[in-house]
Amino acid sequence: MSAATATDVRDLLVELVETPSVSGDEDECAERLLAFFQEHGREAFTDEVGNVHAPADDGVLLTSHLDTVPGEVPIRIEQTEAGEPALWGRGSVDAKGPLAAMAVAAVETGASFLGVVGEETDSRGARHVVATRDAPEAVINGEPSGWDAVTLGYRGILTATYEVETESAHAAGPEKNAVEAALSWYDRIEESVATTAGDVFERVTCKPRAVDGGSTDDGMGVTATMDVEFRIPPDETVESVREAVSEATAAGSLSFSEGIEPVTASPRTPVARAFRVAIREAGGEPSLLRKTGTSDMNLFAEAWACPMVTYGPGDSALDHTPNEHLVLSELDRASEVLTTATEQLLNP
């Protein structure tokens, strides 16, 4: 097996960012990853849903996602205001920086690798894997945490779709139409479900994601549909939020996504300890994070009883933004930390 180098991780990142992979269209990105592993003497293949597997030592599974959200960020390498060279482009932070670092670390250490699809939408890749693959001994999930921090917790997620129809009436009259009914429904569920105690990670929050409404085709009624996303802290569950929303819904129809449970990993596992040691060896002071969003780590933790953390280069505040970029020196340091931590876990 040939050794991957620091140049490899930068080159691979550029190639991955130059390869569009919006959720549902990850095939070309998967082909590039397959080629990378084959160039370095590793077996690699894709499964039925498009995940990339490079199986090896299951003492550690290094995994990140191939897909990005939509939106074009012009790809270029230029200096930041601080004078650091950085790569701009959709996915540079979320999560092709972590993905490139995971792939290179897998080659350097002999750890197993998994690149999943659909993380930004329905997590179909991770759902397929936990249903078809045996649990590894440890998981390092790739998402931006910053090179000197690891993420131990994520909130869960649930999406509700509310639909309502009313008879048409004159707009000048007092009767509420379906659009007003949908807005009133949101106010009710926000009051009954959302909590304000503690920091954001410890609270249930909700946010409308889409609203559509208007006259029916025959002009005899008014319809409205609203999609609302709930983020769920560790002391709640998908079912508890689903029940609260259902109880606050008196009329109309209501449907839910499958949902993903929250997760909080222990800071005292061998994986967390390996990262603290590796970050200190690289000159950093490790931080432990809890994220207000959701990741595939939630699904891995629910299905697999093994220690895990999430780690990767990049500032998560840049996720999904028009200013998404990754400082290349951070990629280098994260790749070094990831390789060191993985080697410690495989060779205790």
- The dihedral through the CA atoms of 78, 83, 89, 91 has a sign that is positive
Identify the band that residue 3 occupies on the pLDDT scale cut at 50, 70 and 90.
very low
> What is the β-pairing status of strands 85-88 and 45-46?
unpaired
Q: Collapsing DSSP states into helix, strand and coil, what is residue 342?
A: helix
C-alpha span between 286 and 162 (Å, rounded): 43
Give the model confidence (pLDDT) of 267-280 as tens digits: 999 999 999 999 99
Q: Choose, from 94, 119, 236, 324, the residue flagged as catalytic.
A: 119
Give the model confidence (pLDDT) of 95-144 as tens digits: 999 999 999 999 999 999 999 999 999 999 999 999 999 999 999 999 99
Task: Specify whether 235 is catalytic.
Answer: no
Q: Check for a shared fold between 6-154+263-346 and 156-256.
A: no
Instruction: Give the residue-averaged pLDDT of 85-104.
Output: 97
Task: Specify whether 31 is catalytic.
Answer: no
Identify the band that residue 216 occupies on the pLDDT scale cut at 50, 70 and 90.
confident
C-alpha span between 339 and 92 (Å, rounded): 20
Count helices and strands in the chain by DSSP H and E runs: 9, 16
C-alpha span between 260 and 180 (Å, rounded): 30
- Where are the chain's structural domains? 6-154+263-346, 156-256
The class level of CATH for 156-256 reads: alpha beta
Q: Choose, from 67, 108, 296, 324, the residue flagged as catalytic.
A: 67
The superfamily in CATH containing domain 6-154+263-346 is: Zn peptidases (3.40.630.10)
CB of 312 closer than 8 Å to CB of 95: yes
